Amino acid sequence: MATHRYTVIFEREEDGGYHVFCPTLPGCHSQGDTLDEAVENIREAIALFVESLEAHGEPIPREDLLIKSIEIAA
């Protein structure tokens, strides 16, 4: 089994908890009441997403992201 590494982004929800998604895998989202739960849930979501791609003979995306924080005056 190959190992894949993906960047995920966590967003705090207004009503508590976290929404998390993987930009390299469009449509691969999850959530959790805590950060730890969100991490575990997105791990599972990514594994299932990749498994589905493999089952359908589709290529597994390789991450090619550059993430940088910028500051603006507003």
What average pLDDT does the structure give for the chain?
95
Q: Which amino acid is at 7?
A: T
Terminal C-alpha separation, the chain: 48
Q: Write down the pTM of the prediction.
A: 0.88
Query: Above 90 in pLDDT, residue 29?
Result: yes
Q: Provide mean pLDDT across the span 45-57.
A: 97
Local structure of 73: helix, strand or coil: coil
2: confidence class by pLDDT, cuts 50, 70, 90: confident
pLDDT of residue 37: 98
Residue 1 pLDDT greater than 80, yes or no: no
Q: Which residues are CB-neighbours of 54 under 8 A, at least 6 positions away? A: 60
Q: How far apart are CA 65 and CA 34, in angstroms?
A: 26
Quote the tokens at residue 6.
Answer: 């993906």
Confidence band (pLDDT; 50, 70, 90) for 70? very high
